[in-house]
Amino acid sequence: MTPVSLLEAGPTDRTVDRRAAALPPMGTGSPSADAGFAAVDDATDPISLVHYLDRVSGQLDGVKRQIRQQLEVSEGEFVLDVGCGAGDEACGLSALVGLSGRIIGVDASTTMVQEARRRATGSAVAVGFAIGDAQALPFAAASFDACRAERVLQHLRHPALAVTEMARVTRAGGRVVVCEPDWQTLVVDHPDHALTQRILDFRAGRLQSPWIGRQLARLFRCAGLVEISVRLVSVAFGLSEAIDSFRLEVTLRQATQAGVITATDKSHWLAELTETAQTGCFVAAATCFLVRGIKPFRA
């Protein structure tokens, strides 16, 4: 396996700029969505997207646990986290590889990578972070024993390129694990079914690849991966969790501005959601596709 250059991976926990400032305080509202996660650094307030990831992370503990199980990380391995965000999962995985292994996180956002490096400062973890495009990873072929991505490909215009790149940088016999939602599986119990579907369809249409979940197995096969497995992971949410996790306030504002719904539709829809939640009967859920493949040995 070709070792990953530490220069490619950016500063390690020992060389990261210790002058990096802590994040400024933020409220708990939804992040600005002028660019969203498809272009974090172009957002009006990119730090709000960092805080959003922090808030929803705990709601996805079960999903992350299953990803780790499928990744099967061992001591001494080199692992790539594509779309690493603020780096928390990469830092968590570092305990599994020990000091003889290494976790590299890559993200297209300078904001996210700077925050990931700040969070790793002073810790004794074998982790590094790099700025890079998932659709053109800045690493040599066969550099990693395993490669993961979680809720990243939905924001890419060409997710097939990202899967191909993940397969390229994984060694023969290594694992590629990706977990992505399929936003047609998002369900919200609301008495106005037609209005609800219109809102949810608008939300999905704002993403680059809203149906990526169902496409993953095919993309894995096209990338030459074998022994492909597919697991479905569903997560249920309460009202406040659903509004935040699915960024429904942002969706409603954008849908109103686009003329998809009226201001009256928006207020009535939220009021009926609140009324349902007060009875203890509110249900919202979404399903992620957790797909694993193996890089084959070539004859």
d(CA 6, CA 63): 30
User: Does 110 map to a domain?
Assistant: yes
User: Does 233 map to a domain?
Assistant: yes
Residues of the chain short of pLDDT 70, as ranges, are 1-35, 124, 299
Token pair for 79: 């692992």
Give the pLDDT score at 1.
52
Domain that holds residue 244: 6-294
Token pair for 34: 């002028």
User: Does 270 map to a domain?
Assistant: yes
User: Does 1 map to a domain?
Assistant: no
Residue 59 is part of a domain; what is its CATH number? 3.40.50.150
User: Does 125 map to a domain?
Assistant: yes
Q: 3-class SS at 190?
A: coil
Q: What is the total count of domains within the chain?
A: 1
Give the pLDDT score at 147.
98
d(CA 286, CA 205): 16
Give 147-192 pLDDT, tens digit per residue: 999 999 999 999 999 999 999 999 999 999 999 999 999 999 999 9
User: Does 282 map to a domain?
Assistant: yes
> Closest Cα to residue 103, out of 145, 131, 132, 162?
145
> Closest Cα to residue 188, out of 133, 239, 113?
239
User: Does 299 map to a domain?
Assistant: no
User: Does 112 map to a domain?
Assistant: yes
Check if the beta carbon of residue 10 is closer than 8 Å to that of residue 113.
yes
